[in-house]
Chain A
Amino acid sequence: MTKTITLAQGNGGEENNDLIKKVFYKAFKNEILERSEDAAVIGNLAMSTDSFTVSPLFFAGADIGKLAVCGTCNDLAMMGAAPKYLTCSVIIEEGFEVESLERIVESMRSELAINGAVVVSGDTKVVPKGSVDKIFINTTGLGEIIQAGISSNNVSEEDVILINRDIGCHGATIFAAREGIEMSSTLRSDCNSLYPQVKALLDAGVEITAMRDATRGGVAAVLNEWSRQSNVCIEVDEEKLPISDEVKGICEMLGFEATALANEGTFVLAVKKDSAAKALEILKGFEVCAMASVVGEVTQRYPQKVILKSPWGTSRFLETPSGELLPRIC
C-alpha cells in the first residue's frame, strides 16, 4: 500500500478493497463486519452508512441530496430490508448558499417519502472555506428485514444473474459534467431508490439469493465480489449486458468500460433459475427497467473469477476495476 492516500484508494475497486482490509477490517474485525454485505444484519434489522461527496452537486437526473438518501436506503434494500430510520449529518463549507442547501434537503425529503423512511437524528457542522468541497453528507440507515437470508456469500450454480436496467449512466453523467464534455444527449444519472423494485420482487415471491447495487466500481466490482465471496465462477454474455447508446458512446470516446462505471440506481441480482422469468417480468413493469436483462450464469469453470463471453466465441476475465478512471490518450 502507498504511504499517502491516493484517489485510486476511493475508487470502489482493487485499491479501495486493499485499504479497507489493511486498515479498517484490521482494526474493527468482527463477525458482522467480515460478512462484507451492503448492510450489516443484526437480528431482523439491517444497518448501513454512507458518506456522499459529488461534484457537481446538481447533475442531470439527481443531486447530492437524492444521492444521499438513495445510497443508504438502497444498501438496506439490497439486504431485503425496508428502509425505516435515517440519520443525516452534513458538513458545510463556509459561504455555501442557503438556497442550494434547501434544494438539497428538499430532494432528500421527497426521496425519503418514496422509501417510506424518516430522518430521526442529525448533525450540522460548518467548516472554514476550503476545508471541504461545498458540502459533504453522511446518512446512516436502519431497515427492517422483510426477507431474511439474502447474502452475497450464497450465490450458487442454481442461480442466474440479472441486472435491473442499463448500466453506467451515473458514472458517465458525472464524468461528462465534471469535465465539461458538451454533447447533445439524453444521458441522465440512474440515481433512484431501489426499494420499490425490491419490494415488488419479494411480494411476487421471486427467490432472491443475492442483491447488490453496483455503485463505485460498477457491475464489474459486484460480480467479482460475489465470485470471491461465494467461491463460484460467473459467466456473463457480453451482448446481454444492458448498455444505452449514450453510455456506449461516452465509453467509446474516452476509452472506458461501462461495467466499471458507477451507478446509483442499478443493481445486480442472483435469483433461482426458476424465478428468472418472473423477476424479469416484474422489473420490466418499472419504467426505468425497460432494459432489465438476464446477463449470465453461475458455474465452477474458474472459481472466484468472472468471465465475459463475446458473441464471436472468445472469452476473457472481467477484472475488478483498478486505478483512477482516466481517459485514454489517443
Chain B
Amino acid sequence: MSSLELKDLYDGFRDPEVIRGYQKLIVSDAQKLSRTINIMEVCGGHTHTIMKYGILQLLPETIKFVHGPGCPVCIMPKERIDHAYVLSQQPNVILVTLGDMIKVPGSNGSLQDARAKGADVRFVYSPLDCLKIARENPDKTVIFFAIGFETTTPMTAALLDTVIKEDILNILFHLNHVTVPEPMRALISDEACIIDAFLGPSHVSVISGSKIYEEFPRDWGKPVVVSGFEPVDVMQSISMIVKQFIENRCELEVEYHRAVSREGNLKAQAMVDKYFQKVDFRWRGLGDIPQSGLGLREEYERYNAEKIYDAVLPKEEIDDHKLCICGDILKGKASPPQCTIFGTACKPTSPVGSCMVSSEGACAAYYKYGNLV
C-alpha cells in the first residue's frame, strides 16, 4: 500500500463531477422548498471556501448564505488590537501572534506598522514556536498574543503547559480566545435574525465534538450540519440541510465524518479546561457576549500579560467607524456590497472594518472573489 500523501486529503473533495452531481441534487431538491432558506456559515474558513470556489454560483435562488462571525481576527475589538500594539512598544518585549493578526489596524496602526517602526513583532504557525524564540532571547520577554476559536486554543494551552513544566520565565500570554456556540446563540436571540440553519465548522468540532451544537436544533429549532472545508464537503452539507427542510426534520448532522465525533478530542478539552476559564468577551460588531471568551485561571495569573502590563494598557472601549456595517453583516442583516465604503474607502490594503481585515472575513472574501457572480 502506498503511503498517505498530503494531496489525498483534498484531491477527491474537489472533484468536478461530484460537485456538479451535488449541484443537480440541490437544485432538484430545492424545488420542493416552500420558501427561501438562509444558511449561516459560522466560520470564516467556510466563507472563504464558498467565495473561492464559487459555491453561490451553483445554488438556486431559494438558498441564501449569511456570513457568520467565525473569523478570529475580524471579531477582535479595536481596544484589544491596541493592547497588542502597546505591548509591542514595551522595552525588551517580543510580541508574537498568528498570521493575519499583524495586519489589523488599531488606533495607532497595525502590528505591521509597529514592526516598521522598530518593534519586534513576529508571527508563528504554531504557538509552540514561542519556545524557540524565548530560548534564543533569554533577556527578552516573549508575549504571545493568543487568538482563535476552539481549534487554536489547545495549542495555547499546550504552550502554557510546557512553560510551566519547564519553568520558562520569559513567556507571557495575552488571551483573546473565543468560543463558537455563544455568538450563535446571541445571533438567533436577536428578533431580526433571519438565519434558518447553520453550517458548523468541522475543525472546531474535531476538538470540541459535535455535541456543542446539540442545543441549536433541540432548543432553537435550527438545523446544524457540521461541515468540512472543501467544496465537495460544503455542497454535501448544503444538500443535507435542504433535505432536512423538505423532510421536515430539524437535526444535528455531521458531514465531516472523517474526523469529527460527538465527544471530540477529550485530551485537548482537558488541557484547555485545566488552564483557562470562561470569561465575558466584547466582540467587534456584535458587542458584549457573556462567557464567550477564555481567560487564564486565577492560579496562572503570573503568566497574564494583561495583568502584568495593566498600567500601560488602554481600557476604553472603541466603537467601529460610523459608516462601517460589519455588525449588520455579521448578523446577516446586510451583505458586504451593501456597505457604502465597501471597495472604496475600505479595501484589504486599507481596511476600515473588521470583516475586511482577514482573508476569512466576509468583506475581504467578497472583495477578492465575489465581484463576479
A: which residues have CB within 8 A of B?
A: 2, 4-8, 14-15, 18, 179, 181, 245, 248-249, 252-255, 302, 307, 310-317, 319, 322-324, 326-330
Report yes or no: A311 in contact with B99, Cβ–Cβ below 8 A: no
Q: Does B300 lie at the interface of the complex (its beta carbon under 8 Å from any beta carbon of A)?
A: no
Report yes or no: B368 in contact with A319, Cβ–Cβ below 8 A: yes
Q: Which residue of chain A lies nearest to B72 when distances are taken between CB atoms in the complex? A: A329
Report yes or no: B53 in contact with A245, Cβ–Cβ below 8 A: no
Report yes or no: B151 in contact with A330, Cβ–Cβ below 8 A: yes
Report yes or no: A245 in contact with B7, Cβ–Cβ below 8 A: yes
Binds A, one of B15-23, B28-36, B291-299: B15-23
| Residues in A whose Cβ lies below 8 Å from that of B99 | 255, 326-329
| Residues in B whose Cβ lies below 8 Å from that of A319 | 368
> Number of residues in B with C-beta < 8 Å to the partner?
49
How far, in Å, is A190 (CB) from chain B's closest CB? Answer: 20
Q: Does B359 lie at the interface of the complex (its beta carbon under 8 Å from any beta carbon of A)?
A: yes
Report yes or no: A328 in contact with B359, Cβ–Cβ below 8 A: yes
Which 3 interchain pairs have the tightest Cβ spacing?
A: A314-B54, A249-B6, A311-B16
Alpha-carbon distance between A273 and B72 when the two chains are bound, in angstroms: 47
> A326's contact among B6, B57, B103, by CB below 8 Å, is which?
B103
Q: Which residues of B (314-373) have their CB < 8 Å from a CB of A? A: 348-349, 358-360, 368-372
B: which residues have CB within 8 A of A?
A: 5-7, 9-10, 16, 19-20, 23, 45, 51-55, 57-58, 72-73, 98-103, 112-113, 115-117, 123, 125, 147-149, 151-152, 203, 231, 348-349, 358-360, 368-372
Report yes or no: B73 in contact with A329, Cβ–Cβ below 8 A: yes
Alpha-carbon distance between A255 and B55 when the two chains are bound, in angstroms: 19
> B116's contact among A5, A253, A314, A327, by CB below 8 Å, is which?
A5
Alpha-carbon distance between A245 and B6 when the two chains are bound, in angstroms: 8
21 A–B contacts, CB within 8 A, in A order = A8-B112, A14-B349, A245-B5, A249-B7, A252-B9, A310-B54, A311-B16, A312-B20, A313-B58, A314-B54, A317-B372, A322-B349, A326-B99, A326-B123, A327-B123, A327-B125, A328-B45, A329-B98, A329-B100, A329-B148, A329-B152
Report yes or no: A253 in contact with B148, Cβ–Cβ below 8 A: no
Report yes or no: B53 in contact with A310, Cβ–Cβ below 8 A: yes
> A328's contact among B16, B100, B147, B369, by CB below 8 Å, is which?
B100
Report yes or no: A317 in contact with B349, Cβ–Cβ below 8 A: no
Report yes or no: B359 in contact with A330, Cβ–Cβ below 8 A: no
> B149's contact among A4, A316, A328, A330, by CB below 8 Å, is which?
A330
Alpha-carbon distance between A205 and B339 when the two chains are bound, in angstroms: 53
Report yes or no: B348 in contact with A322, Cβ–Cβ below 8 A: yes
> A315's contact among B7, B54, B349, by CB below 8 Å, is which?
B54
Report yes or no: A329 in contact with B101, Cβ–Cβ below 8 A: yes
Report yes or no: B16 in contact with A315, Cβ–Cβ below 8 A: no
Report yes or no: B57 in contact with A314, Cβ–Cβ below 8 A: yes
Asked whether A179 and B348 contact (CB < 8 A) given A6-B116, A312-B16, A316-B372, the answer is no
Alpha-carbon distance between A254 and B358 when the two chains are bound, in angstroms: 14
> B113's contact among A4, A302, A326, by CB below 8 Å, is which?
A4
Alpha-carbon distance between A14 and B367 when the two chains are bound, in angstroms: 14
